[in-house]
Chains A and B, each alone.
Chain A
Amino acid sequence: MADRATVDTPSATSTRPQLDAAAVTEFSRDRGESASLATWRARAATVLARTELPDRVRHLWRYTDPGKLLPGKLLAATTDSGAADVAIPDTPAVVLVPGQPPRLNAAAESCGLVIETMHGGGDVTEGLGRAVPGEHGYFEAMNAAAFDAGLVVRAPRNLDLAEPLRVVIPAIDGADVLPRLLVIAETSARLTVVEDHVGGDSGSVVIGVTEILVGANAEVRHVLVQRWENGVRGHLTQRAVLERDARFLGATTGLGGAMVKVDLGAVLAGPGARSELVGVTLPEHRQHLDHHTVHQHTSGRTWSNIDFKAAVTDRARSAYTGLIRIEKDAPGSEAFQENRNLLLSERARADTIPELEILTDDVSCSHGATAAPVDPEQLFYLASRGLPAAEALQLVVRGFVESTLCLMPADLREEIETLLESRLRRIGGAA
């Protein structure tokens, strides 16, 4: 497993893994990556060296201990044969595993997208770090320096991708993965990417970064499916940057893992840009699922909406922090944000902090957050019609997430519902 470039660190997860620029450069060279990428990584390594673990005092990290998300070993050159078991659909799909070339199915080869590994010799640094630079934060710097499963997906100008591209990223049993996606939609291109995080076990850590560059008048729909196995820990960062008249829809389902933080966002950088972030998370047992969403309006005449719902059961915990930031130079922007939490058990917990930072007057904004247990009168009403307690509870939860599901891509709705359904059926301890 370990090769010469490996830097051993103690396995205690609260210890910061060490990484130096020389090791990073060697890792890059061993892989035959371009010189420009090696340089890019080395710079990220120096950023990482001077970046502290995220400060718990900040809202963003108030509810989750970053020390618990640290991988043990960086540049471990992990590969996984188990990932070969991943089910591949007939529609365009890629499986992304460290140390292996990305596995594209026939539909992905012929769909018109340009899909290439970051670990070949090609220069992939164009656009890299534009949406999520190493300076974004500790985990992002770590990923930039040490990512081991990188993929670029480019939709050429005017391409209208009929079927979604599925990027399957398996977590690896007992090991770390640092996946990195760069999605580029050129002018007037349209595509949907499903980023599907699967697999893993209690020894797995995933530190992922996804950058999405949405060109003028282009449209990207990004569906993040987080359905890791029990015990996986992870940190995923996704940012989209929207040019003039670009549209972005980020849809998230947070289902798996033990302790997970997901940071989702879009920068509305051109007039006429529209972005929507919608998410549903259903933490159960002792899961700790933390989501952050941000819409940053750097251009005027932009529109954004966030709708995030958490239904929490057992002793699980959801944390949500949301930020709408409207820059001084972004008059005429509209931004909305709503976070609702449903508590399904006494010991379930949901925290929410919606924030607004508005630096100009000429805006229209609203935000709201609620957290409440299920209304017992609703349950009594449903019970009075013969629905057993668990079924009644499940129906209320389905109703709760319904309006958010309606905002997700309609053509993927069935798939998303099926995913949620497997979880919903366990609510209330039903068979």
Chain B
Amino acid sequence: MTANTNPALFTCRDVRVSVAGKEIVKGVDLEINAGEKHALMGPNGSGKSTLAAALMGHPAYEVSGEIRLRGEELSALEPDERARKGVFLGFQYPVAVPGVTVASFLRAALSARQGREVPVREFRLKMQESFDALDVPKDFAGRYLNDGFSGGEKKRLEIMQMLMLEPAVALLDETDSGLDIDALKVVSAGVNKASGPDTGILLVTHYQRILDHVQPDAVHVFMDGRIVRSGGPELARELEERGYDWLADATSTAATGG
């Protein structure tokens, strides 16, 4: 809990999410301080993606509780407003937008984030830099957004967008899934690059693997819509060995990270 005048970077208080009348996220408390990386792990269907999308402001979800970025309540804001304030969601399943090139999309996104029309030349340089950082082939720029991209290519593009948009807090929903070993290294490097003293990261993942490259400050176990346990990196290793069953009876006591 932050009682001081310097609020945590990103906080959730009793966040509940219902979809079509069904409660999926059942009261989440989370606190990510600037400079921290948190991992959120949990079984399939436990509600991790629902939580992440709700934090971004997905319009189909009914959400209650508090969501704050640097103390500012986000709950009433549209997803685009949250994005411009510095929230980023890396999608588990990035959506294709046929006919819209990666370059034109990125320029629109960057201009929106920076609140100014980014000049073409400046944009090109910035895009090239981010492409190089992630070994993204040059021809990506002219291809249609996520259209016909392989799973791994889409994930690289998500990370690349994160690097360009320089969010304050990045919610990365299984950005490490479906990557080959080289891609995993590239993506991990991207996450580490985006992480800095002013940035917070929430990494939703099923695998210990990425946590070898991205050292988390806290690991949260998410089951049936709740964080049932929080701990340090050793918790992830324990999950890898023991699975989730041993936590199934755990009570839903709120846990704070860090």
A-side residues, CB < 8 A to B, are 375-378, 380-389, 391-392, 395-396, 398-403
Contacts and interface: CB of A to CB of B under 8 A. Distances in A.
Given A386-B80, A389-B80, A391-B112, A377 B95 contact: yes
A395 to B, nearest CB: 6
Contacts of B100: 395-396, 398-399, 402
Main SS at interface, chain B: mixed
B91 A387 contact: no
Contacts of B79: 380, 383-384
B113 interface: yes
17 contacts: A380-B59, A381-B91, A381-B97, A383-B57, A384-B91, A385-B113, A386-B80, A386-B83, A386-B84, A388-B112, A389-B80, A391-B108, A396-B100, A398-B100, A399-B100, A402-B98, A402-B100
Most chain A beta carbons < 10 A, residue from B80, B109, B165: B80
Contacts of A375: 95
B119 interface: no
Nearest to B90: A384
Contact of A392 (B80, B84, B113): B80
Interface of B: 53, 56-60, 78-80, 83-84, 88-89, 91, 94-100, 104-105, 108-109, 112-113, 144-145, 161, 165
A326 to B, nearest CB: 30
Main SS at interface, chain A: helix
A241 B83 CA distance: 54
A401 B97 CA distance: 12
A388 B99 CA distance: 19
B203 to A, nearest CB: 17
> What are the 9 tightest A-B residue pairs by CB atom distance, in nearest-first order?
A399-B99, A402-B99, A386-B112, A399-B100, A385-B109, A386-B83, A381-B95, A383-B79, A383-B80
Given A375-B95, A385-B165, 19 more contacts: A380-B79, A381-B94, A382-B109, A383-B80, A384-B79, A384-B83, A385-B108, A385-B112, A386-B165, A387-B112, A388-B112, A391-B108, A396-B97, A396-B100, A398-B99, A399-B99, A399-B144, A400-B99, A402-B100
Contacts of B91: 381, 384
A395 B112 contact: no
A387 B96 CA distance: 16
A387 B99 contact: no
A384 B53 CA distance: 9
A376 B60 contact: yes
A389 B78 contact: yes
Nearest to B98: A399
B148 to A, nearest CB: 13
Nearest to A397: B99
Contacts of A385: 80, 83, 105, 108-109, 112-113, 161, 165
Contacts of B144: 399
A67 B96 CA distance: 44
Contacts of A396: 97, 100
A385 B88 CA distance: 7
A396 B165 CA distance: 21
A392 B105 CA distance: 10
A403 B59 contact: no
A402 B100 CA distance: 8
A375 B95 CA distance: 10
Contacts of A403: 98-99
A395 B95 CA distance: 14
B58 to A, nearest CB: 6
A380 B59 CA distance: 8
A395 B80 contact: no
A395 B108 contact: yes
Nearest to B91: A381
Given A385-B109, A386-B113, A387-B112, A378 B80 contact: no
A119 B95 CA distance: 58
A318 B78 CA distance: 31
Contacts of B165: 385-386
B78 A380 contact: no
